[in-house]
Amino acid sequence: MQSYWEEERKKHKEYESLKNNLSVSVCVIGGGITGLTTAYYLSKNTSVAVVEKERICSSTSGKNTGKVTSQHGLFYKYLIDSQGKEYAKKYLEANQKAINDIESIINKEKINCDFERETAYVFTKKETEIDKLKDEQKVVDKLNKGISKFVKTTDLPMEMQGAIMFENQAKIHPVKYAYGLADSILKNNGRIYENSKVTDIKKENGKYAVYINKSKITADYVVVATRYPFMVVPGYYFLKMYQSTSYAIVIDTKTKLFKGMYINCEVPNMSFRTIKDGDRELLLAVGYDYKTGTDEFKDGYARLETIVRRMYPNSEILYKWSAEDCITLDKIPYIGNYSNMMPNVFVATGFNKWGLTFSNIAANIIKNKILGIENEYEDLFRAQRIEPIKNRQEVGNMLKEANKSILWSKFKVPKTELDDIKIGEGKIVEVNHKKVGIYKANNGEVFKVKPVCTHLGCELHFNNIDKVWECPCHGSKFSYDGKSIEVPSNKDLKS
C-alpha cells in the first residue's frame, strides 16, 4: 500500500533503467535515503552510480515516520549497561551530529522537504514505568547536560504519567528529501538507475562486477544499502538480525493538532507526529510492531484508528501502509566493511527503526572509508563485530523458527480443501500431498505459489491484512501472486 509520502513521487518522472555496461568508481545498491546520501557525498569527489530495483525511496525510506532524532526510546541506559558510558556518549553525539548534517544538506542544496525543528518525547501511560523514564533522563543528562528534561504533561491529548523531552530534534518529508538528494547527485554528474534489480556481485579483474538485468556496472567500491543485505554469504547478516513490521495511518482530524513528536516506551508501541499538508495539518500514527511472519498484534490499522478516535472522534483515515525495519540482536546498526572476504564492499543495515538519522551517520562513515578519511564514530557500528551476542533469547527464537520452518514438510499436515479458503484470504494447504500457498482474490481468481522463501528455504506465513507472504525467519515479503517485494530475497516464488 502506498504511503502518504509516496504521493510526492507522482510529481517526478522515472529515471531510466540500466541498459548498457558502465564503469564507475562507486556503485551504490539501493535508492533509499541511505544509498542516496552516500552517493550524494561521494559524487562531490568521484564517479558514482545508484541502482534501485524499483523507484527511489520506494521501500522503508518512503514509508517511515519522517522523524530525525537522537531520542531512540529508553535506550541510553541500555547502552551504558551494555557498552559503557563513553560508547553511549559517542552514540548520542553521532546522532545529534547527523541531525545537523541533514539540516546542512537541506540548506546547502535548497531542498524543500518541510524540514522543521521539533521537540521529541518518549512517554508512558503506566505509573509503573515512571521510574524507568526518570532513570533514563538522568543517564541522558550525564551524557549531554541540558538536552533532555522529565515532564509530567505534554501537548498530546492522551492521558499519560510522564515523559522525557529531547529538544531541538527534527522532522522532514522523506520522499521530498530523497528527490532533493537525487537532484544534487545528478548535478554532481552522478547517475541514478531505477527498475534495475541487482542479481549478483562478482570479483572480476581486480574490481567488482555488479550484475543488473542483462548489463553490469564495474566498480572499485560497492555499497550495499538495501536495508537488509541480499547476499547470504559472506557476512551472514541473516544470523544477526530479524525484521519487524510496523503499521501506519494518516488521519485528517478536522481540528488543530498538538506540538511535538511522540513515542511511548511500553508494548504495544505507538508513535505520533503531525504533517503540514497545504492549509491543513494531518496526524501520522505508527505502531503495533510485530516480528515479520508472525500473527502478533493482528490488524494494527484498526488498533491505531481506535486510539486516534479516542483523541479525535471526527477523524477521517486517508492512508494506511506498513513498513519493515531490520532489528539487530544487540540493537546497534551494522555500518562499514561488509566482510573480510569482500574488501572494498560496504554495508549499512540494522537501523532499528531510526533510519533517517542513521542514514546520515552511515553515509558519512562509508564515504570516509572510501576516501581514506578517519571517522570518529566508525568503531561504534563496525559491521564485522563478533562480540558475544547479548540477546541470546532472540537468537534462540530465530533458530527455532528457522528449524521449524525448514523441517515442517516432515510432519503430517491435515488436508484442507480449497473451498474452505475465503475470498481475499491466503493459506497454506496440502494438495496431492504437496504444500501449496493459495490466495483467493476478490474476483474469485486463485493464485498458487510454492510457500517456501527463496532466500533460505523457510516456510512462509500469509499476512491477511496486507495480503502478502512473509518469511518468519528473515523477513522477506512476496505479493500474493509470488512477486518478491522485500529483501533479503530478491527472487520470486515458484508457482
Lowest mean pLDDT among 41-45, 86-90, 203-207, 415-419: 415-419
Lowest mean pLDDT among 119-133, 165-179, 328-342, 379-393: 379-393
Encode pLDDT of 191-247 as tens digits: 999 999 999 999 999 999 999 988 999 999 999 999 888 877 787 788 888 889 999
Encode pLDDT of 181-195 as tens digits: 999 999 999 999 999
Query: In the prediction, which pLDDT does 216 show?
Result: 96
- 404 pLDDT above the threshold of 60: no
Query: In the prediction, which pLDDT does 406 show?
Result: 44
Task: Copy the grid coordinates of residue 22.
Answer: 558502465
Length of the chain: 495
- Residues contacting residue 357 through CB under 8 Å, at least 6 positions apart: 68, 69, 70, 95, 98, 99, 102
Encode pLDDT of 8-33 as tens digits: 999 999 999 999 999 999 999 999 99
Q: What is the mean pLDDT of residues 396-417?
A: 46
Band the pLDDT of 397: cuts 50, 70, 90. low
Band the pLDDT of 399: cuts 50, 70, 90. low
Band the pLDDT of 297: cuts 50, 70, 90. low
Residues 335, 383: Cα–Cα separation, whole Å: 5
Strand partners, 328: 241
Encode pLDDT of 154-174 as tens digits: 999 999 999 999 999 999 999
Could you write out the DSSP letters of every residue in 163-214? EEEEEEEEE--HHHHHHHHHHHHHHTT-EEESS--EEEEEEETTEEEEEETT
Residues 241, 379: Cα–Cα separation, whole Å: 19
Residues 215, 63: Cα–Cα separation, whole Å: 30
Q: 20 to each of 16, 213, 420, how far by Cα in Å?
A: 11, 10, 50
Query: In the prediction, which pLDDT does 150 show?
Result: 97
Q: What is the mean pLDDT of residues 289-308?
A: 84
Yes or no: say if 195 and 14 are a contact pair by the CB < 8 Å rule.
Answer: yes
- CB atoms under 10 Å from CB of 154, counted, come to 18
Task: Copy the grid coordinates of residue 141.
Answer: 543528562
Lowest mean pLDDT among 96-105, 156-165, 275-284, 478-487: 478-487
Preceding amide of 268 cis, omega within 30: yes
Angle at 400 (CA atoms; ends 394, 405), nearest 5 degrees? 130
Rounded percentage of the chain residues whose pLDDT exceeds 70: 92
Domains of the chain (ranges; CATH) run 5-63+175-240+331-390 (3.50.50.60), 115-169+243-328 (3.30.9.10), 394-486 (2.102.10.10)
- 474 pLDDT above the threshold of 80: no
Q: 391 to each of 224, 328, 330, 354, 395, how far by Cα in Å?
A: 25, 9, 6, 19, 7
Residues 328, 243: Cα–Cα separation, whole Å: 9
pTM: 0.87
Query: In the prediction, which pLDDT does 405 show?
Result: 47
Residues 70, 350: Cα–Cα separation, whole Å: 16
Query: In the prediction, which pLDDT does 486 show?
Result: 79
- 119 pLDDT above the threshold of 50: yes
Q: What dihedral do alpha carbons 64, 66, 70, 76 form, nearest 10°?
A: -30
Q: What dihedral do alpha carbons 243, 244, 247, 248 form, nearest 10°?
A: -80
Query: In the prediction, which pLDDT does 482 show?
Result: 86
Lowest mean pLDDT among 210-214, 411-415, 460-464: 411-415
Band the pLDDT of 415: cuts 50, 70, 90. very low
Higher pLDDT, 163 or 425: 163
**One-letter-per-residue 3-state SS of 310-372:** HHCCCCEEEEEEEEEEEEECCCCCEEEECCCCCCCEEEEECCCCCHHHHHHHHHHHHHHHHHC
Q: 252 to each of 23, 114, 174, how far by Cα in Å?
A: 48, 18, 20
Q: What is the mean pLDDT of residues 256-270?
A: 95
Query: In the prediction, which pLDDT does 387 show?
Result: 58
Encode pLDDT of 335-375 as tens digits: 999 988 899 999 999 999 999 999 999 999 999 999 999 99
Sheet holding 468-470, edge to edge: 461-463, 468-470, 477-479, 484-486
Query: In the prediction, which pLDDT does 388 show?
Result: 46
Yes or no: say if 285 and 249 are a contact pair by the CB < 8 Å rule.
Answer: yes
CB-neighbour burial class of residue 258 (10 A; exposed 0-12, middle 13-18, buried 19+): middle
